[in-house]
Structure 1
Amino acid sequence: MRQRFNVCAYVIGTLFSTALLSVAVPSAAQAADSKITIMVGGINKLIYLPPKLAENLGYFKDEGLDVELQSQQAGVDAENELLAGAVQAVVGYYDHSIDLQSKGKEVQSITQLLVVPGGMEMVRSDLATQVRSMTDLKGRTLGVTGLGSSSSFLAQYLASRSGLKTSDYSMLPVGAGNTLIAALKQKRVDVVWTTEPTTSMLLASGEAKVLVDMNSAAGTRAALGGLYPASAVYVQGAWLKTHKPEAAKLARAFVRTLQYIQTHSAEEIAAKMPADYYGGNKALYVQALKASLPIYSPDGKMPAEGPEVVLKVMAAFNPNIKGKKIDLSKTYTNEFVNQVK
């Protein structure tokens, strides 16, 4: 009798311990699913400042999120990582969601970080007297971050508004930051599309001058005919359907970050960023950040006119989009940012 009791007690104890363990310790699949990896198309660019700022302010942790930030040189590379399932979200230009819909991929922006491109077309200083506008690009080389990138479509559209055909100039992918600067110095490109802090570095060194400035709403409307929402947080539609609570937390963390940007000085924001982002010149970084403050969205919402302007620009030169019906309502959602007070 005692022996049977001991056996029953052992079995019950084992079952209880196993049940307790299964509740207390998540499976490897559950643990992996709880982590959110965000790929950024150039994490040290000011157009992509919000994710690192959100991390350093502790806003992801406040939401109970385990977020890892990774970086790629160009937004098109970050997009590929998302489609491969290597990351759960991307911080890149919103226009990728339009391009991907044309390829049968469902991707949505859940938070809009920039309301304008936040960049400039710049010309080498030794050519400044010869190249005074995009019209003078004929016969010259245009530097972009990558072929098929957002910068390439924007640059081509600006050239077309000046009456040029794509055959009138050549394009060369030069990346961003140091590789772009090197391409200018080596005279491999004549005109480049770039963003802060690279623009301020080029202006400070005297190596380039501004052709087109899209760091403000007024400048963007003059160049493109309307606002062009740029950097956004976008995810795959399939992930969004099964991770709405996580999407809401991500949106809340990013909107809080945008609110921080609106209510703090460039000096205060810079103090929250890694020192290696300064490029060895903190004063220049602060100056560049101060010039960039108008580019950030105050609330993470998509500007009403934005999607149509982006589609117009892309449809002009993206062969994937020409002749296809694009449902813009499926490329972004304000559902989650609208929940943030």
Structure 2
Amino acid sequence: MFKRYGWIGLSLIILFATGLSGCGSSQTSKVKIGEVARSVFYAPQYVAIEKGFFKDEGLDVELQTTAGGDKTMTALLSGAIDVALVGAETSIYVYQQGAEDPVINFAQLTQTDGTFLVARDEIKDFDWSQLKDKVFLGQRKGGMPQMAGEFTLKKHGIDPQNDLELIQNIEFANIAAAFASGTGQFVQLFEPTASIFEREGKGHVIASFGTESGRLPYTVFMTKQSYIKDHEDIVQKFTNAIYRGQQWVQTHSPEETAKVITPFFKDTDQDILVSAVKRYLEQGTYAESPVLEESAWNNLLDVMDSAGELKSRVEPDKVVDNTFAKTAIQSSR
């Protein structure tokens, strides 16, 4: 009798364990992402979500917008999010402070500045010298938009601190509204806001900071070194999904991409989304792969140094790990 029930019990244990094993293989891993802004600039990320590329990798991503680089990094360091989509300069700031658990860039999403120079009045045959003695509504000091903006101005012989009235004390989320209400003669704006302002007659796009400032690891997915150590598989799956999103955007029309990302811009007309995606594609803003190139990293250091935000040059191997990006590319072939 004992043997009989013993075997029955053992069988039940085996069946139960097998059941658990089956369930485990289909379970998904939750990943909380904090994006620095909601922008068409990040179209490949939205495509990866909407096309189910993260789900295919067994990931359940929760996306939240944490407006501003400082807020996004605070959320990452405090553990409120697992992965941050923010400018690579933030990882350098953390490293410069001597962090014991540095922030590591593992997948690049955009490779140029995503802002455009918008003038209140229409200007034909624009020349950068026309900004002199004007009121320029810039971005937050120390952030990539502002540093790339100042880098471009200096490139054209304009001293941002002395040749124009530079306003940079307005919160990132309020810059567009400030310009619309009458502050400044020129402003730096991301898409789709730039296209919306053109349609509504609030401004005119006259130049691209992305084109002017060159290749930069402008927006990158990053996480804490400790998270990578504990969740290498998740980071790899995450990068695989992002690469698929990047490739999808590169091989589809602006109209197709705009349609896919519409759920993230429910109050934006389709033609505006198409215009924004087209602008970014034409100037090569969307990175074609998640690999962060050393030449782009060095350009970033030059931009930061020019802005006076770099204590010393940080070699990429200190805060960049391209392993996951390269694996994602190899595994897709």
TM range (shorter): 0.7 to 0.9
Match of 2:199 in 1: 204
Q: TM-score, normalised by structure 1?
A: 0.80
* Alpha-carbon distance in structure 1 between the residues aligned to 2:84 and 2:91: 11
* Alpha-carbon distance in structure 1 between the residues aligned to 2:268 and 2:287: 28
* Structure 2 residue corresponding to 1:181, chosen from 176, 179, 186: 176
SS at match of 2:261: coil
Matched, 1:51 2:45: yes
Deviates most, 116-125 or 83-92: 116-125
Structure 2: gaps spanning 5 or more residues: 22-26
- For residue 250 of structure 1, what is the amino acid of its counterpart? F
Q: 1:206 to 1:134 in 2, by over 3 A?
A: farther
- TM-superposed CA distance for 1:335, in Å, is 0.7
- TM-superposed CA distance for 1:102, in Å, is 1.2
Matched positions, count: 315
Say whether the 8 Å CA contact 1:153–1:318 is kept in structure 2.
Answer: no
Structure 1: gaps spanning 5 or more residues: 26-30
Matched, 1:328 2:316: yes
* Alpha-carbon distance in structure 1 between the residues aligned to 2:160 and 2:190: 24
SS at match of 2:105: strand
- For residue 303 of structure 2, what is the amino acid of its counterpart? V
Match of 2:307 in 1: 317
Q: Quick one: percent identity of the two aligned structures?
A: 24
Match of 2:232 in 1: 244
Match of 2:24 in 1: none
* Alpha-carbon distance in structure 1 between the residues aligned to 2:130 and 2:276: 28
* Alpha-carbon distance in structure 2 between the residues aligned to 1:290 and 1:235: 30
Match of 2:241 in 1: 253
* Structure 2 residue corresponding to 1:229, chosen from 205, 209, 217: 217
SS at match of 2:182: coil
RMSD: 3.3
- TM-superposed CA distance for 1:331, in Å, is 2.3
* Alpha-carbon distance in structure 1 between the residues aligned to 2:47 and 2:142: 28
Match of 2:65 in 1: 71
* Alpha-carbon distance in structure 2 between the residues aligned to 1:165 and 1:274: 37
Say whether the 8 Å CA contact 1:135–1:164 is kept in structure 2.
Answer: no
Matched, 1:116 2:117: no
- TM-superposed CA distance for 1:53, in Å, is 1.7
* Alpha-carbon distance in structure 2 between the residues aligned to 1:120 and 1:111: 24
* Alpha-carbon distance in structure 2 between the residues aligned to 1:278 and 1:134: 38
- TM-superposed CA distance for 1:325, in Å, is 4.5
Q: 1:170 to 1:290 in 2, by over 3 A?
A: closer
* Alpha-carbon distance in structure 1 between the residues aligned to 2:167 and 2:176: 18
- For residue 65 of structure 2, what is the amino acid of its counterpart? S
Q: TM-score, normalised by structure 2?
A: 0.82
SS at match of 1:188: coil
Q: 1:111 to 1:93 in 2, by over 3 A?
A: same
Say whether the 8 Å CA contact 2:258–2:274 is kept in structure 1.
Answer: yes
* Alpha-carbon distance in structure 2 between the residues aligned to 1:203 and 1:132: 19
SS at match of 2:215: coil
